[in-house]
Amino acid sequence: MLNENIKEIRKSKGLSQQELAVKLNVVRQTVSKWEQGLSVPDSEMLISISELLETPVSTLLGETVIETEVDSLKAISEKLEVINLQLAQRKTMRRKILHWLFISLCVVIAAIFAVLFVSESPYFGWDYSHPETAVLGVAFHSFEWLFVRAAPLILVGAIIGIFLTRKKE
């Protein structure tokens, strides 16, 4: 009975005699002798086998074990269901993050436009005759020039992004 149970449980776990022997720190022939009923593991080894095969010692010693498939269709479908749920949650989280990034981008663009509008383009009144202020003025003018031309396109893209990433019901 013990020999049959060790063999059936080992096979159901997808282990070869060699793999089981390596995990138990014995030679393969020892596992073979146990499964053929030529020898019996001692009590400490029986506990080790029980822990390794994740099976109670009582099952190893007395109960007959019905051979189970390593990956039954039900187990595979349950695993796939969990994976699909995790992927759906990850996709939802990415969509939320993108949505809020697009909203933040719109707010930042609107704030910069507001600052530029309120300040009435200070680079027009800048004194470019002094080298220090000329460099700073040119840098600010370049930023404003680039921003005023690129920001509307970025803003339209962000608004489209907000629309595409909104929560669908």
CA triple 7-9-12, angle to 5 deg: 110
pTM across the whole model: 0.44
Domain residues for the domain of 42 are 2-61
Q: Is residue 67 domain-resident?
A: no
pLDDT, position 28? 92
Q: Is residue 120 part of a domain?
A: yes
List per-residue pLDDT tens for the chain, 169 residues long: 788 888 888 898 898 999 999 999 999 999 999 889 888 888 888 888 988 888 888 888 876 545 555 557 777 888 889 999 999 999 989 999 999 999 999 999 888 878 877 776 655 556 667 777 677 777 777 887 888 888 889 989 999 988 888 877 6
**Domain count for the chain:** 2
Same domain, 26 and 78: no
pLDDT in tens, 64-78: 545 555 557 777 888
What are the tokens at 65?
Answer: 């074990």
* CATH code, domain carrying 11: 1.10.260.40
Q: Report helix, strand and coil shares of the chain as percent, to nearest 5.
A: 75, 0, 25
